[in-house]
Amino acid sequence: MNDIDINTKNNDSDSVGDIDSSSSRGWAKLKRNKAALVGGIFLLIYIVCAFGAPVLFWGNPSAPDLINSLSPPCAKYLLGTDELGRSILGRILYGSRVSLMIAVGVVGVGLLFGVPVGLISGYFGGKTDFIIQRFTDMLLAFPGFLLALALVAILGVGLKNTVISIGISMIPIYIRLVRGCVLTVREEVYVEAARASGTKDRHIILRHILPNVLAPIIVQTSLGMGTAILFAAGLGFLGIGVQPPTPEWGSMLGSARAYMMGKPHVATFPGIAIFLAVLSFNLLGDGLRDAFDPRSKI
């Protein structure tokens, strides 16, 4: 057992020169991972829906058709209509644009602030690190969704504020993640060597450290998009996220609640859309982790 271990370890030891070969190994592993494949296919469908909504659905998803309100699925309305007679299929398709926009925006905010701050915190250590860590402690003292709620309470409702609120609630997660990775990479011989030979800090961070913390960041980005969709739908459901008439999955569910008694389809389909979108990011994230970042858990 020990003997075999030694051989396999030699193959993917992570010195600088090995980054390329280990990432190509990762791609090979990713392709073999059926879960990631399924996730990738779902994600592709999701993106096609988001970009192709006007092509896939002719007509206005916000146009009411009161005569046909709360119609169950039929030939004209494949997934039925909501309380104003709007096509649920159309609103789900257009809703995929909104949720994809939110997911990208939220993760963008998280990455934009979280990654640089995490790099600085982990690389420089000392007082900078201490202050940044106390700040993240403060943000992490609130459960993520509640932090987003509190921020929405301050900023107000709407698409932009939903993105900012959830984005801010994700920043500390990225800071922690990146900082933790930097701390381990910082002690590697090649970083020590670069520092000893007088390489500029900025150069060391960008050329030596960032490439080595990329894998966990990518994994977290995929999983984070799923969380962002869930959070945004949650805010929409509570009526404090994206506001109607913008078609948003969460708010569709929120208004469907009043009619679920006799018309369960109104609440069923938007929920399935959220579920599949989140599932695709989770499947992909799991696959990416198994392939590129096998050491980390969850």
Partner 1 sequence: MKAGMAPLLSIVGLKTSFHTLDGTITAVNGVDFDVYPGETLGLVGESGCGKSVTALSVLRLLNPSMTTIHGQVNFDGKNLLSLDPEEMRMIRGGTISMIFQEPMTSLNPILTVGEQISESLRLHEKLGRKKAWEKAIQMLEIVQIPSPELRVGEYPHKLSGGMRQRVMIAMALSCNPRLIFADEPTTALDVTIQAQIIRLLEHLKKGSNTSIVLITHDLGVVAQMASRVVVMYAGRVVEEAPVVELFHDARHPYTKGLLKSVPVLGGDKKTRLNEIPGIVPNLLHMPKGCSFHPRCSMTMDICKKESPSMIHFNKNRRVACWLATDDF
Partner 2 sequence: MINFLLKRLLAIIPVLLGITLLLFFMLRMLPGDPAQVLAGQMASPQDVEMIRTQLGLDQPVYIQYASFLNRLVHLDLGLSARTQNPVIQEIWARLPNTILLSLCAITMACVFGIPAGIIAAVRPYSWVDYLVTIASLFGISMPVFWLGIMLMIVFSMTLQWLPAGGIGTWKHLILPTVTLASFVVAFIARMTRSSMLEVLSQDYVTTARSKGLKENLIIIKHALKNALIPIITVVGLQFGLLLGGAVLTETVFAWPGLGRLIVDSILARDYAVIQGSILIFGLLYTLVNLVVDLIYAFVDPRIRYE
**72 phi, psi to nearest 5 deg:** -70, 170
Task: Find the binder of partner 1 among 1, 67, 154, 261 (CB under 8 A).
Answer: 1
295 interacts with partner 1 by CB under 8 A: no
83, 259 Cβ separation under 8 angstroms = yes
Residue 72, interface with partner 2 (CB under 8 A)?
A: no
CA 159 to chain centre: 16
Helix or strand holding residue 178 (H, E): helix 159-186
Q: How far is the CB of 295 from partner 1 (least distance, A)?
A: 17
Cα 127 to Cα 91, 117, 122, 266, 276: the distances in Å are 50, 13, 11, 54, 44
Q: Is 3 in the site for partner 1 (CB under 8 A)?
A: yes
The answer to the question of residue 2 lying near partner 1 (CB under 8 A) is yes
Per CB under 8 A, which region of 4-12, 86-94, 118-126, 261-269 contacts partner 1? Answer: 4-12
Q: How many helices (H) and strands (E) does the chain have?
A: 12, 0
Bridge partners, residue 87, by sequence: 81
Binding piece for partner 2, criterion CB under 8 A, among 57-65, 177-185, 212-220, 258-266: 258-266
Interaction of residue 88 with partner 2, rule CB under 8 A: no
Q: How far apart are CA 5 and CA 223, in angstroms?
A: 31
CB of 111 to partner 2, least distance (A): 21
**Number of residues in contact with partner 2 under rule CB under 8 A:** 46
Tokens of 233: 């739908």
Alpha-carbon gap, residue 113 to 36, rounded angstroms: 28
**Residues binding partner 1: what is the number (CB under 8 A)?**
9
Name the residue nearer to partner 2 (CB basis): 118 or 226: 226
Is 13 an interacting residue with respect to partner 1 (CB under 8 A)? no
Count of Cβ atoms closer than 10 Å to residue 153 Cβ: 11
Q: State the residues that interact with partner 2 by CB under 8 A.
A: 1, 35, 134-135, 137-139, 141-146, 149-150, 152-154, 226, 230, 233-234, 237-240, 250, 253, 256-257, 260-261, 264, 267-268, 270-271, 274-275, 278-279, 282-283, 286, 297-298
